Each structure stands twice: as structure tokens, then as C-alpha cells.
Amino acid sequence: MPRRRKQTTVDAQGRGRADDIDPADQWVLNPNTGEYELRLPASSPQSGVPSPRRPPAPDAAPPARGRTQAPGRPRPETPGRSVPPSRRRRGAPEEPLPGRRGRRPAKKAAKGKKALLWTGGAMAFVLVAGAGAAYFYIEHLNDNIASVSDDGASTGGFQKDKAINILLIGTDKRTGKGNESYGDSGSVGHADTTILLHVSKDRSNATALSIPRDLIVDVPDCPTTQEDGSQKIIPGTQQARFNTSLGQDGRTPSCTMRTVTELTGVKPDNFMVADFNAVKTLTSAVGGVEVCLGKDIDDPDSHLKLSKGTHTIEGEQALAFVRTRHAVGFGGDLSRIGLQQQFLSALMRKLKSNDTLTSPSKMLDLAEAGTKALTVDSQLDSIGKLKDLGLELGKLDTKNLTFTTTPVIDNPTEKVKSTVVLNESTAPQVFDMIKNDVSFTAVKDKKKKEAAAVAARLKGSKAPASEVRVRILNGGADPGSAQETLSWLQVEEGVTKSENAGNAPAEGAKTTLEYAPDQADQARRLADIMGLPGSAMKPGESVENAQGVPAMTLTLGKDFKGAGTSLTAPSKAPEGVDKSTADKVECAE
């Protein structure tokens, strides 16, 4: 177990106040700067000792490091939480948050982006982006965070200038106070609730894709870091339930991450894991979440008993709500997924509300609850890193966050239906939309114009295939792809003036076709033959081929799927795929 640091206390007089007012209540949102500022009464005695939420003076020595409880606020009992093996706790801060004395913090673009908490899976994560917290308090929050290695299963962490893919995992391991009474108490835990959260590159939209726990998948071999630091490869399992990708045989979240990549073709940037206590502590910290029921519910299994209508729930009642399945829909896991998506939508609306964002005490409660509820990968092991991610997610409007579920059908090999398999007619299209950053919601007019301009590149006259001159380079596709494409173009498509130009100078994620203005008709013909989208067409300059004649350049990227396979992404979700947006209030039936 990690060594706990000695707790430090600061008396009321040392904080510059001797009354019973919570220090958090002295933080006030300044509408001119968009930051929280400490406002003490004029008569309050001042001291050289900084308050728990007040940064020290620039020339003052930093306070002693330690797990210090914010004075004036009772320390909440730390719930036991499910944490995968090989975790560690951070001690050093990434960086102090803005708001240090002597510096004027930069203005933020909008009130809703100043501080936020996002949560997913079975309340799989919280991101803290509050301003004005003291240096040592950030140290304390850093100590709360537990991390575990991603074992090379991620991209290496999200980037601000790219689309973001976060894997949110809710485990059903029965650890923590009050959870012993739930069934399967001795279980090592499973990937009980899993959501792949995709945020678009321009942050205008996002998709939260739920993956059913009973989906039959191939769990790949998983290199896993052991407690002693050694590596062990846990053998994969063919045709297994998705939820066995975590916990079983010593599998860690990195194994679930590899399984998702195998299933969807999307490689997550980061993962976040939480257990039952996350639902309880986070909903209590925010003051409860309002949910709607279309009928009375009395589920003895989840212990949920609520009447038809709207209710504000938190703690144990919130956990019962997200766990119930026999009382809603068809009584299975797919019905429970729909209920959880409705709950998450309601929670996000509450978290983005002014009631939460303008309350310093709530934000501090959320920071405590969130950092204690989380187990993250080693790329997100500090408040500074979580803050950066939170600011990226804060740019998103809830009306453009779509919840959907991986398309599945009942397993045809079973007489008694207990598992599901992919719906091969629609699931690949859903996965392609996420891989290609296609929104499930209507885009704004500006985006429509941009999309129309790109699509216009495909419109116009097309040269005969025999007149198309193109050099083919391998820029990240499988070895041999350039030669395979050359043979296919020459033999089956009549593009005889084509050549294999070897490897590209650098690898790229996307396949591109670069052409000069006077080669546009050739480019449109080749794009039509190859199934290239307008975004793959790059107006530029031609390059001489081996015969010294100007030619276009086709560079096969990592997205290349083979000669004759179209690279044009779907423009909308297929028919029959259920989806909802986080701004809509829905009632569970």
C-alpha cells in the first residue's frame, strides 16, 4: 500500500478567521475576470499563514507537502474503491492552477468552460478545472489520484490538436463501504459498463458509444505490468464476453483497451476506471441528479423503488438507479444501458449548470470525490493533466454529445439468449463514423459549408482511366499495399499510366491524392475508382514520374484497407441505430 503522508492541520486564527464560516464560501466568482477570488471581511485578522484555498505570496516558501485536509470542512471518509493492480499515487503537482497572487489570470471564453466535471461509464471519470486552489491543496488532490500503466495499449495520451478517444470503464467489483451487500461480493470485477467517448478534432461534437458487457468478442493477448514491475503476457480468449476483458485472469484496463481497439478499430488515447462508490460520491457532491421515470419502479435486485415522474437522486439511490435492469425495457443489459445513458445526460446537464459551476464549495467537493473515485492511466496521473483534458471537453455543447450503443443482435448460436454479437450490417458503419470523426448530430452551418467545399472537389468532368497518370507511395499502409494497388489499377481499372514509387518520406494517418490544377479531371477519375472522399484530395503541385512526365501522387495512409475498398466514410448513422443527445430530458420506461 502507498505510504500515507502525515496530515497537517491549521487552526482558525492562523487562517485569518475564527468564525464558523466555511472557507469555501468566501470564494466569489468575479464577473470581470471569470475567476474565483477570496473575499474576506474587512475586520478579519490577517496572518502570514495562507488559507487552504489561498495561494502563498510569490516570495513565500511553499507550504509543507502533505495530505492536508481543507480546514473548516469535514474530511469525507475515503471510500474503498476498486483499483487495478500496479497502481501508484502521485505526490508532486503538475503545475499550480491559475490565480496566484501578483498575476492576473487570463480571461476564459465562456462561463461554462471555467470549471467542469465530466463523468461517464458507471461514473467513470471526473475532470477538475477549477481556478484559485492553493498550491498544497493541488498536492493533496494529486495524492488522491491512483494510476496504472496502459502497457502500451494507448496512443500515448490525448493531444489538443487532434480528436480525443477516452475509454471509460465501470467495474462491478464490490469494494468500498456499503457495497458488501451486493451480489457477487467475492468477484475480481469485470468491465461491467464501458463507454468509448470520442470528441471531434474541432470539439464541436462528441459520441459516447456504449459497449454491451455480454457482447461476444475476441480478447487479444495482453502484456501486463505486475506489482513487482515485471511484464506478463496474459493469453487472449476467443469468443468471450466483453466484460471478461477486465479482472479475469489478472487482466487490467489495458486489456480492455486492446479489446476495444480489436473490436472497433479505434485506439483509445486514455482510460479511466471507477467502481460503485463513484456514482454515490459524485452525485452527492453535486447535490443530486434529477431523473425521470415513465412508470413506477420497484426492483428488489437493485433496491430501486421510485414512483412515476421526476426525482432527485444521489448516493445509494443513484447507484440503484444505474444498476437496475429487470424493471426497465426488456429487462436485460441493453435496457440498463439506455437507463445509464439517460442518467449520464441528466448528470452532465447538472454539472454544466450555473448552480454547480458558480459554487466554489461544490467544485471543491467534486474535486475531492472525483480524484478519489478515479483510477486513470499513467498519462493522466495529475490534476494538471486532468485539467488540460477537462478544458478540451469543456468546449463541447451537450446538445452535440450523442449517446449510442454498439449495434448488436441476439447470439444465433444460443437457444437461451444470454449474449449478443455484432450486427454486421450496421456496426461497421458506426465504427467508421467514429474513426473518421463524423458527427452523429447535425453540424452547424459553417461546418456544412466546409463539408460542401470539400465535396465539391469530386464534382466535375472526369478524365478517362487511360489518361490518369499517378505515382503510388506507401505512407503507412500494410507492406506491399503500393504494389497491390498498382496491379489492381492497371489490370482491373485500366489505369495503365501508374507506377509504384516506393515508400513515402513519412507515414500518415490518412490516404491522400495530391494533384495540380490542370490534373483535376484525372484526380476526380482516380478518386471515383479508389473510393476516395473529397477530404483526401489535396490541390497542390504535380511531380514528374519515372518517364519525366508530370503525374499525381497517391499516398496510401494507415487508413488504407486494400485495393478496391472504399475510404469514403458514412455521412450519417445507419437506420435503426438508437441515439440520444445529452441536452434532451427522457423518461425511463
pLDDT at residue number 101: 46
Q: Which contiguous run of DSSP H or E holds residue 486?
A: helix 481-492
Comparing CA positions, the residue from 373, 141, 357 lying closest to residue 273 is 373
- Residue 306 predicted with pLDDT over 70: yes
**Helix (H) and strand (E) counts for the chain?**
12, 27
- Per-residue pLDDT, averaged over 66-76, amounts to 42
C-alpha cell at 588: 425511463
What is d(CA 146, CA 455) in angstroms, rounded to the nearest whole number? 46
284 and 314 in contact (C-beta within 8 Å)?
A: yes
Burial 276-292 (b: 16+ CB within 10 A, else e): bbbbbbbbbbbebbebe
3-state secondary structure of 79: coil
pLDDT tens, residue by residue, 252-300: 999 999 999 999 999 999 999 988 888 888 889 889 999 999 999 988 8
Cβ of 9: how many Cβ atoms within 10 Å? Answer: 8
- Report pLDDT for 444: 52
Per-residue pLDDT, 347: 85
pLDDT at 439 over 70: yes
Collapsing DSSP to helix, strand or coil, 155 comes out as coil
The whole-number average pLDDT for the span 324-344 is 83
Query: Helix 315-323 vs helix 333-351: angle between axes, to the nearest 10 degrees?
Result: 140
pLDDT of residue 136: 67
Task: Read off the pLDDT band of 116 (50, 70, 90).
Answer: very low
CA distance 411 to 397: 37
Residue 259 class from Cβ within 10 Å (0-12 exposed, 13-18 middle, 19+ buried)? buried
Residue 502, pLDDT above cutoff 80 = yes
Highest mean pLDDT among 43-47, 214-218, 558-562: 214-218
Pairwise CA distance, residues 544 & 147, whole Å: 53
| Distance between CA atoms of residues 340 and 559, nearest Å | 33
CA distance 438 to 572: 7
Which pLDDT belongs to residue 500? 96
- In CATH terms, the fold of domain 456-556 is Alpha-Beta Plaits (3.30.70)
**Residue type for 121, please?**
G
Report domain extents, the chain.
88-443, 456-556
Q: Are 96 and 55 in contact (CB under 8 A)?
A: yes
> Does domain 88-443 sit in CATH 3.40.630.190?
yes
The upper half-sphere exposure of residue 15, i.e. CA atoms within 13 Å in the direction of its Cβ, equals 24
Q: Which amino acid is at 435?
A: K
Mean pLDDT score, 2-6:
40
Position 202 pLDDT exceeds 50: yes
Contact 52, 7 (CB under 8 A): no
**Which helix (DSSP H) or strand (DSSP E) does residue 188 occupy?**
none
**Maximal CA-CA distance, the chain:** 89
pTM: predicted TM-score of the whole model, two decimal places: 0.67
pLDDT band at 438 (very low <50, low <70, confident <90, very high): confident
Neighbours of 586 (CB within 10 A): 17
Distance CA 352, CA 358 (A): 10
- Residue 406's pLDDT is 96
Residue 486 has pLDDT above 70, yes or no: yes
Which pLDDT band, with edges at 50, 70 and 90, does 484 fall under? very high
> If you search the block for the grid coordinates 480489436, which residue do you land on?
262
Rounded Cα distance between 54 and 123, Å, is 30
- 234 and 255 Cβ atoms separated by less than 8 Å: yes
Task: Determine the average pLDDT of the residues in 71-81.
Answer: 44
Residue 327 identity (one-letter amino acid): A
Mean pLDDT of all residues in 105-133: 36
What is the chain's length?
Answer: 589
